[in-house]
């Protein structure tokens, strides 16, 4: 059986001692057989010289294949018969014929035995050849641990050549460190005939390698242990890879714990799930509880069940990405906020797989809620403070209709008290009273709305209406401060989504700031230009330009910072609150100021989709 056509370096290594002498030995065999033939033919000695052909056959065993050996044997028989015929003719009944038969039988038996032996040797050599091809190191040592065989694999692994290693003490050369003791290893080997284990060994260059050593005991005569045959398989790279994997798993577990992020895997359509330790901890699943889609739903907050069901449905429809945020309702009443992001990593005909991350964002959501609450509270305080600043004009706003009610009431009574009451005049007076009462209650309604502390409510609003309402609240104050108002709106109505009171608060704040800036400046005309423009990007922008002192470029960066104020009684919270309100509405607020041109405050808000062309 020919297994390898191209000899490997290892095979060449094993066949090295034979190659050079083959030709020489063949020549030797030819010379020997020729000599035997000559002596056999020419000599008159009455012995079976042809028996010496046995030596030629034995030589040929190492030099030729099976067929070759048979061929050599036939040649030897031929030469024996030729020499007999030359020496004795065809006299078959004297002693020489008996010697011929002895010689022929010796040649025949030797050939049979040699061929048998050759089969065994070839088989052994084939095994050695196969062994030599393995990358494993094969080391044979005697019972005193002196190395007797050292394979090419061992040369490659440890760096010592065969000639350097053979004859050395195995333990002195490789300094093997076993996981068990040396005595335990030997006891096991002698008792069972085998031992297997991990060993750390030293190479010629000083490096350490970890190998799996498989030892088996070779028995000699009387079943006495003769040698130890060991194969050493280098697992250093595998070991390093496993260690690196374990390290990165530990890093990942640490990072997951720190960031409160777990990983999950989901197979579609089987619904089989994989969970990291942190993912289980977030869901508070027991270690022996295999998480399933059903158990996930069981832990989901009742109000968010539909969100989770929709995400599961998307997964079964093989959506490339799934992103969702929902809450868990724990057994003791705690609520956890989760963010989940999953990606389809394998999309097969038979099955698909998602890998995702889920993050416990409870702390963040709590902090956001607390921040939101304090923002709402702060905005409320700021509104109340603004109302305080407007108290005088508000009182006037309410007083005016009340005075009108009183005047019209008195007039109505007079018309009634006449000898002939004038019902028409009385009706007109009452109608005016009703209208003035409505005016007063409208002012009070606006003030109450501003003073009320409510959660922001998002609704579709007409921004023009909000600006007008804000102007109505500060209108009296503007008049008192002799501010001329110029209104340049390119739209009648524009829809934005937001909270009416909060948006009013922003506009009032900007109007009041502009008015205060102009009131404190020595300027001839106090003007306020209001502009409302549609932008191309689907937003509406509102500008308030005053004719005050403006804002120098060095103050500009601080303008929207909390507690930045240049006013003696100022809190410095107005513009900072304005910015958080506008940003919460998806808009932007900023200021510009050209020297000597006053200040311009711009705010832009997205137009509600249904209003867009």
By beta-carbon proximity to ligand ADP, the closer residue of 29 and 517 is: 517
Which contiguous run of DSSP H or E holds residue 541?
Answer: strand 539-546
Our CB check for ligand ADP shows the closer of 408 and 505 to be 505
Q: How many other β-carbons are positioned within 10 Å of the β-carbon of residue 549?
A: 17
Residue 606 touches ligand ADP, criterion: CB under 6 A: no
Asked whether position 57 contacts ligand ADP by CB under 6 A, the answer is: no
Decide: 230 and 145 in contact? Cβ < 8 Å: no
Asked whether position 567 contacts ligand ADP by CB under 6 A, the answer is: yes
Crossing angle for the helix pair 423-451 and 362-389, to the nearest 10 degrees: 140
Calculate the CA 89 to chain-centre distance.
96
d(CA 514, CA 25): 117
Q: What's phi and psi for 117, nearest 5 deg?
A: -65, -35
Q: Does 381 bind ligand ADP (CB under 6 A)?
A: no
CA 75, 76, 78, 79 torsion-angle sign: positive
| Rounded distance between C-alpha atoms, residue 154 and residue 94, angstroms | 63
- In the complex with ligand ADP, the residue whose CB is nearer, 230 or 575, is 575
Is 548 near ligand ADP (CB under 6 A)?
A: yes
Stretch of 341-349, 373-381, 473-481, 568-576 contacting ligand ADP, by CB under 6 A: 568-576
Which residue stretch of 148-156, 360-368, 462-470, 512-520 sits at the interface with ligand ADP (rule: CB under 6 A)? 512-520
Q: What is the dihedral of CA 581, 585, 586, 591, to 10 degrees?
A: -40
Question: Does 565 contact ligand ADP by CB under 6 A?
Answer: yes
Candidate segments 77-85, 128-136, 244-252, 558-566, binder of ligand ADP by CB under 6 A: 558-566
- Report if residue 507 touches ligand ADP, rule: CB under 6 A: no
Q: Quote the least distance from Cβ 519 to ligand ADP, whole Å.
A: 11
Tell whether residue 587 is a contact of ligand ADP (CB under 6 A).
no
Residue 549 C-beta: closest distance to ligand ADP, Å: 6
Based on the shown chain and the rule CB under 6 A, indicate whether residue 115 belongs to the binding site for ligand ADP: no
| Residues of the chain by 3-state class (helix, strand, coil), percent to 5 | 55, 20, 25
**Under rule CB under 6 A, residue 551 binds ligand ADP:** yes
* Degrees to nearest 5, angle at CA 257 with 252 and 262: 70
Q: How many residues bind ligand ADP (CB under 6 A)?
A: 20
User: Rounded to whole angstroms, what are the CA distances from 268 to 289, 293, 316, 339?
Assistant: 20, 12, 6, 21
* Residue 474 binds ligand ADP (CB under 6 A): no
Q: How far is the CB of 345 from ligand ADP (least distance, A)?
A: 51
What are the beta bridge partners of residue 545? Answer: 529, 600
Residue 513 binds to ligand ADP (criterion: CB under 6 A): yes
Return the bridge partners of 329, or none: 335
596: left (phi over 0), alpha (psi -120 to 50) or beta: left
Q: Does 523 bind ligand ADP (CB under 6 A)?
A: no
546 makes contact with ligand ADP (CB under 6 A)? yes
Query: Residue 386 class from Cβ within 10 Å (0-12 exposed, 13-18 middle, 19+ buried)?
Result: middle
The stretch among 217-225, 328-336, 434-442, 567-575 that binds ligand ADP (CB under 6 A) is 567-575
Q: Which residue is nearest to ligand ADP (CB)?
A: 574
Contact 523, 576 (CB under 8 A): no
- Judged by beta carbon, residue 581 or residue 599, the one nearer ligand ADP is 599
Cβ 479 to ligand ADP, closest distance in Å?
Answer: 19
Task: Output the six-digit token pair for 103.
Answer: 């010689």
Given candidates 599, 603, 605, 607, which one binds ligand ADP under the rule CB under 6 A?
599
Spatial distance between the Cα atoms of 330 and 307, rounded to a whole number of angstroms:
17
- Rule CB under 6 A: say whether 574 interacts with ligand ADP: yes
Closer residue to ligand ADP, CB minimum distance, 171 or 567: 567
Residue 145, classified by CB atoms within 10 Å of its CB into exposed (0-12), middle (13-18) or buried (19+), is: middle
In whole angstroms, the minimum distance from the beta carbon of 376 to ligand ADP comes to 18
Which residue number, 108 or 572, has a Cβ lying nearer to ligand ADP? 572
When binding is defined by CB under 6 A, the residue of 571, 588, 592, 602 that contacts ligand ADP is: 571
Q: How far is the CB of 400 from ligand ADP (least distance, A)?
A: 28
Q: What is the spatial distance between Cα 515 and Cα 506, in angstroms, rounded to a whole number? A: 14
CB of 548: closest distance to ligand ADP in angstroms?
Answer: 5
Under rule CB under 6 A, residue 514 binds ligand ADP: yes
**Considering beta carbons, is residue 564 or 590 the nearer one to ligand ADP?**
564
C-alpha 234/C-alpha 17 separation (Å) is: 28
The answer to the question of residue 559 lying near ligand ADP (CB under 6 A) is: yes
Which positions ≥6 away from 356 have C-beta within 8 Å?
Answer: 263, 264, 265, 266, 322, 340, 341, 342, 343
Rank residues 463 and 515 by Cβ distance to ligand ADP and give the closer one: 515
CB of 518 to ligand ADP, least distance (A): 8
Q: Which is nearer to ligand ADP, 225 or 572 (CB)?
A: 572
Yes or no: say if 433 and 408 are a contact pair by the CB < 8 Å rule.
yes
Q: Which is nearer to ligand ADP, 256 or 470 (CB)?
A: 470
The window from 8-16, 23-31, 293-301, 560-568 that contacts ligand ADP (CB under 6 A) reads 560-568
* Count of C-beta atoms within a 10 Å radius of residue 25: 14
572 binds ligand ADP (CB under 6 A): yes
Among 13, 381, 489, 564, binds ligand ADP (CB under 6 A): 564
Phi, psi of 347 (to 5 degrees): -125, 90
At its nearest, how many Å lie between ligand ADP and the CB of residue 286?
54
Which CB sits closer to ligand ADP, 41 or 516?
516
Nearer to ligand ADP, 46 or 555 (CB): 555
Least distance CB 601 / ligand ADP (angstroms) = 6
Query: Is residue 520 a contact residue for ligand ADP (CB under 6 A)?
Result: no
Task: For residue 66, give the H/E element and its range.
Answer: helix 66-88
| Triad 334, 338, 343: Cα angle to 5° | 155
From 207-215, 369-377, 463-471, 565-573, give the range in contact with ligand ADP by CB under 6 A. Answer: 565-573
Nearest Cα residue to 77 out of 104, 58, 59: 104
Residue 593: beta bridge partners? 599
Written as six digits, the tokens of 11 are 């095979």
Q: What is the dihedral of CA 154, 215, 235, 146, to 10 degrees?
A: -40
Q: For residue 417, how many C-alpha atoms fall within 13 Å in the half-sphere facing its CB?
A: 6
Q: Which is nearer to ligand ADP, 100 or 517 (CB)?
A: 517
Binding footprint of ligand ADP on the chain (CB under 6 A): 509, 513-514, 517, 546, 548, 551, 559, 564-567, 570-576, 599
């Amino acid at each position: 059986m020919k297994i390898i056509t191209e000899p490997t370096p290892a095979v060449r290594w094993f066949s090295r001692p034979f190659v050079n002498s083959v030709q020489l030995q063949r020549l030797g065999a030819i010379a020997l057989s020729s000599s035997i033939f000559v002596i056999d033919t020419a000599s008159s000695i009455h012995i079976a010289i042809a028996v010496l052909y046995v030596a030629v056959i034995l030589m040929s065993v190492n030099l030729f294949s099976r067929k070759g050996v048979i061929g050599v044997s036939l040649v030897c028989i031929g030469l024996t018969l030729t020499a007999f015929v030359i020496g004795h003719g065809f006299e078959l009944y004297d002693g020489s014929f008996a010697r011929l038969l002895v010689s022929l039988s010796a040649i025949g038996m030797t050939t049979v035995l040699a061929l048998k032996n050759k089969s065994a040797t070839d088989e052994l050599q084939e095994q050695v050849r196969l062994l030599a091809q393995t990358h494993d190191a094969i080391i044979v040592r005697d019972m005193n641990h002196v190395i007797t065989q050292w394979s090419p694999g061992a040369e490659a692994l440890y760096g010592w050549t065969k000639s350097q290693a053979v004859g050395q003490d195995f333990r002195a050369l490789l300094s093997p460190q076993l996981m068990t003791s040396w005595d335990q290893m030997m006891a096991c080997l002698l008792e069972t005939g085998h031992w297997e284990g991990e060993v750390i060994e030293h190479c010629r260059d000083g490096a350490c390698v970890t190998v799996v050593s498989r030892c088996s005991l070779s028995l000699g005569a009387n079943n006495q242990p003769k040698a130890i045959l060991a194969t050493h398989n280098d697992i250093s790279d595998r070991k390093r890879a496993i260690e690196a994997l374990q390290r990165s798993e530990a890093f990942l577990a640490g990072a997951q714990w720190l960031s409160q992020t777990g990983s999950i895997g989901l197979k579609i359509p089987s619904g089989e799930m994989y969970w990291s330790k942190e993912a289980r901890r977030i869901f508070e699943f027991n270690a022996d509880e295999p998480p399933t889609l059903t158990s996930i739903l069981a832990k989901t907050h009742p109000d968010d069940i539909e969100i989770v069901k929709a995400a599961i449905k998307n997964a079964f429809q093989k959506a490339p990405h799934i992103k969702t945020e929902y809450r868990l309702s724990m057994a003791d009443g705690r609520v956890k906020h989760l963010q989940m992001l999953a990606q389809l990593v394998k999309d097969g005909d038979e099955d698909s797989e998602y890998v995702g991350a889920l993050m416990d964002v409870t702390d963040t959501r709590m902090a956001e809620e607390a921040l939101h609450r304090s923002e709402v509270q702060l905005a409320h305080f700021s509104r109340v403070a603004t109302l305080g600043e407007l108290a005088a004009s508000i009182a006037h706003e309410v007083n005016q209709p009340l005075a009108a009610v009183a005047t019209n009431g008195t007039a109505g009574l007079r018309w009634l008290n006449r000898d002939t009451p004038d019902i028409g005049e009385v009706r007109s007076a009452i109608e005016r009273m009703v209208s003035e009462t409505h005016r007063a209650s409208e002012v009070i309604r606006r003030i109450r709305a501003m003073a009320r502390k409510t959660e922001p409510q998002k609704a579709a609003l007409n921004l023009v209406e909000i600006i007008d309402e804000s102007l109505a609240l500060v209108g009296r104050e503007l008049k008192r401060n002799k501010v001329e108002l110029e209104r340049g709106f390119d739209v009648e109505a524009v829809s934005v989504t937001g909270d009416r009171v909060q948006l009013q608060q922003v506009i009032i704040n900007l109007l009041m700031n502009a008015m205060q800036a102009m009131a404190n400046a020595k300027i001839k005309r106090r003007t306020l230009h209001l502009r409302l423009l549609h932008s191309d990007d689907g937003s509406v922008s509102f500008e308030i330009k005053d004719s005050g002192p403006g804002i120098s470029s060095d103050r500009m960066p601080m303008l929207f910072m909390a507690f930045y104020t240049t006013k003696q009684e100022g809190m410095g919270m107005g513009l900072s609150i304005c910015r958080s309100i506008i940003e919460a509405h998806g808009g932007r607020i900023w200021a510009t100021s050209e020297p000597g041109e006053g200040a311009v405050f711009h705010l832009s808000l997205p137009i509600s989709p249904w209003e867009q062309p």
